Structures are given as C-alpha cells and as structure tokens.
C-alpha cells in the first residue's frame, strides 16, 4: 500500500475515471476514438476535472470520521453526489456523464478517507470493511439528496416504477414518512439496477471481479488500455448491463453479454479478437446508443479506483 494523503484520494478518483473513459475500443461507450452525437469524449474529461473538489470534500469527511471527529451519518454521501452532478452540468454541455460513477465513488472515497484517518495506510479488506460501514450509515437526507441528483442529471433509460418513482411529487414525502435511507433506496432498486445491487453487496463486482481482473490483466500485458478493456468485457460478460436491459429488454442485454464472452474466449490481444472487438463496438452503436453498456463502464471505473487506492500506478 502506498501512503496516501487526502488529496491523493481525490487524484485517485479522477485518474480512475480518466483511464476508464480513455479505454479504447470500449464497446458501445464513448471512448478516446468514439463519441456519441450529443456526448463526446471531451465532455467526460471536463466532468472529471469538475468533480475533483467534490471528491476532496468527501475524502475530508471520511478522514474526520476515521479520526473520530464526526460520526458516520455525517458523511453527506447524497449531498456530494448531488453536488458532483451540479458541477458536472456547470462545466460541460454533454448531459449526464457520471451519475452512476458518482454513486459508486462517493462511498468508496469516504471509506478511503476513513481508512486514512484510522491508520494512514490500508489494504483491500480494511477498505471494504469501512465501505460497508459507510453504506450502512447513510441517512434519509442522503436519499432525498440523491433523488435531487437524479432529477438534475436526467439520465437516460430510467423507466417508471410503482414505488418511490423519482418523477412522482409524492416520492420525497414518502421517503420521509417511511424513514428511507439511501441504503434502503438502493435495496429497493437493486432487482433492476446493477449499481444499486452493487451498493447492497458492498461493491462485490468491483472488489471481487473488476479490480482483480484489472490487476491480473495488467501484470500479464503491461498495457493499461488492454487491462481496462479486459476488465470491461469481463464484467459485461458475467453481468448483463442493466442500462441496456431497461432500454431494450433483458434478452438483448444477455445477447450483448454473450458477445463479450466470445471476444474474451478469442483473446483481446489476438488479431482475430481485436477485430471482433472493433466490430462489436460498431454494432452496439447502430441503435441510437440504446445498446450502450453504461453501467458496465461505471463498474469498470470503480474497479480501477480500488486498484489505484491499493497502490496501482500507470
């Protein structure tokens, strides 16, 4: 473990996003050689610069919790997600570029700050233990702030639901009435949203699949881009993307995952595998971005963040 300071946690978070968005060709997503019509690679770069100060604020509160000067329910996870979305919108014109990433990053950053406040250095188990405590300590106010963040970001693929729909005026009063914390809100949406599921499993995919895959692939290839794409494909192959599922159905999401499995079996570094990867990327762009594995990209970013916090450096 590399010794960290609070600013290093902020830098780690920004670096993780930059490496993830730069991964190319990352099938169906914006990357360094492919844009969407309204949202381009540069919009993600601007967003990453914009949220740096918010990441630092979250790390500082985590540090205070670790050193005992505040309690865990004062971490303001929801408020920082909301502020991150606000700053993102203020600094670029490409729409929602990072809501899912912010939702995954804020508890991780708080947990890293807490670990730093306790011991100055830490390893994977300590980080995840603190993450578990952070997530379970979220408040009703965190849930209310997150509802505001969703409305600000206006993400694509949000279908109408029967209970606690963000677009219903009664949702906030219902959250207050039922004392619904952000953790509980994530538990309610977990059956149809992979990021919510990730929350209630203490970022299981991030810690148990994504990060180990990235570290292993980098050790074998010494190539950050290849390791990033390998991580993205591994997550996509094993966990059908719920953004795609909400847009066009679970069956289509399964088809996309099966294609990712085929490429992994062929090998990303082989000539045939790389050609398949490029063809896959192009094929996912033919339906007006409905086949964009955006949730997989978010999980890839959180996997990179854990790797960087635990000592990986480009």
pTM of the model: 0.95
pLDDT recorded at residue 121: 72
Dist CA 295 CA 239 (whole Å): 10
Q: Scan for tokens 């890839």, then name that residue.
A: 300
pLDDT recorded at residue 123: 87
233-271 per-position pLDDT tens digit: 999 999 999 999 999 999 999 999 999 999 999 999 899
DSSP string, 148-209: HHHHHH--TT----SSS-TTSTTHHHHHHHHT--HHHHHHHHTTT-HHHHHHHTTSHHIIII
Are the C-beta atoms of 23 and 300 separated by less than 8 Å?
Answer: yes
179-212 per-position pLDDT tens digit: 999 999 999 999 999 999 999 999 999 999 999 9
Dist CA 84 CA 89 (whole Å): 9
Domains delineated in the chain: 6-309 (1.10.4200.10)
pLDDT recorded at residue 2: 63
- Exposure pattern of 198-234 as b/e (b: 16+ CB <10 Å)? bbbebbebbbebbbbbbbebbeeeeebbbbbbbbbbb
> Which of 14, 33, 138, 19 lies closest to 77, judged by CA?
138
Mean pLDDT of the chain: 93
Q: In tens digits, what is the pLDDT along the chain, a chain of 314 residues?
A: 566 899 999 999 999 999 999 999 999 999 999 999 999 999 999 999 999 999 999 999 999 999 999 999 999 999 999 999 999 999 999 999 999 999 999 999 999 999 999 987 778 999 999 999 999 999 999 999 999 999 999 886 555 454 566 767 788 999 999 999 999 999 999 999 999 999 999 999 999 999 999 999 999 999 999 999 999 999 999 999 999 999 999 999 999 999 999 999 999 989 999 999 999 999 998 877 789 999 999 999 999 999 999 999 99
């Amino acid at each position: 473990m590399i010794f960290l300071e609070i600013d290093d946690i902020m830098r780690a978070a920004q670096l993780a996003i930059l490496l993830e968005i730069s991964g190319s060709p990352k099938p169906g997503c914006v990357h360094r050689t492919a844009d969407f019509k309204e949202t381009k690679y540069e919009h993600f770069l601007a967003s990453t610069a914009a949220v740096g100060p918010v990441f630092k604020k979250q790390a500082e509160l985590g540090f205070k919790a670790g050193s005992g000067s505040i309690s865990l329910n004062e971490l303001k996870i929801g408020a920082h997600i909301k502020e991150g979305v606000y700053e993102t919108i203020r600094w670029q014109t490409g729409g929602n570029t990072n809501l899912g990433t912010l939702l995954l990053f804020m508890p991780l950053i708080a947990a890293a700050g807490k670990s730093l406040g306790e011991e100055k250095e830490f390893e994977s188990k300590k980080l995840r233990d603190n993450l578990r405590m952070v997530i379970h300590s979220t408040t009703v106010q965190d849930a209310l702030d997150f509802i505001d963040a969703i409305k600000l970001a206006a993400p694509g693929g949000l279908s109408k639901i029967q209970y606690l729909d963000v677009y219903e005026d009664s949702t906030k009063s219902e959250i207050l009435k039922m004392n619904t914390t952000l953790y509980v809100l994530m538990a309610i949406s977990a059956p149809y949203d992979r990021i919510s599921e990730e929350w209630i499993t203490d970022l299981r995919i991030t810690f148990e699949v994504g990060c180990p895959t990235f570290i292993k692939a980098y050790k074998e290839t010494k190539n950050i881009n290849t390791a990033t794409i390998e991580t993205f494909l591994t997550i996509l192959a094993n966990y059908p993307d719920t953004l795609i599922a909400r847009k066009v159905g679970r069956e289509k999401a399964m088809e996309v995952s099966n294609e990712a499995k085929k490429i992994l079996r062929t090998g990303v570094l082989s000539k045939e595998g790389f050609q398949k990867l490029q063809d896959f990327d192009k094929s996912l762009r033919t339906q007006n971005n409905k086949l964009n594995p955006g949730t997989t990209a978010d999980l890839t970013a959180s996997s990179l963040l854990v790797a960087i916090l635990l000592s990986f450096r480009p």
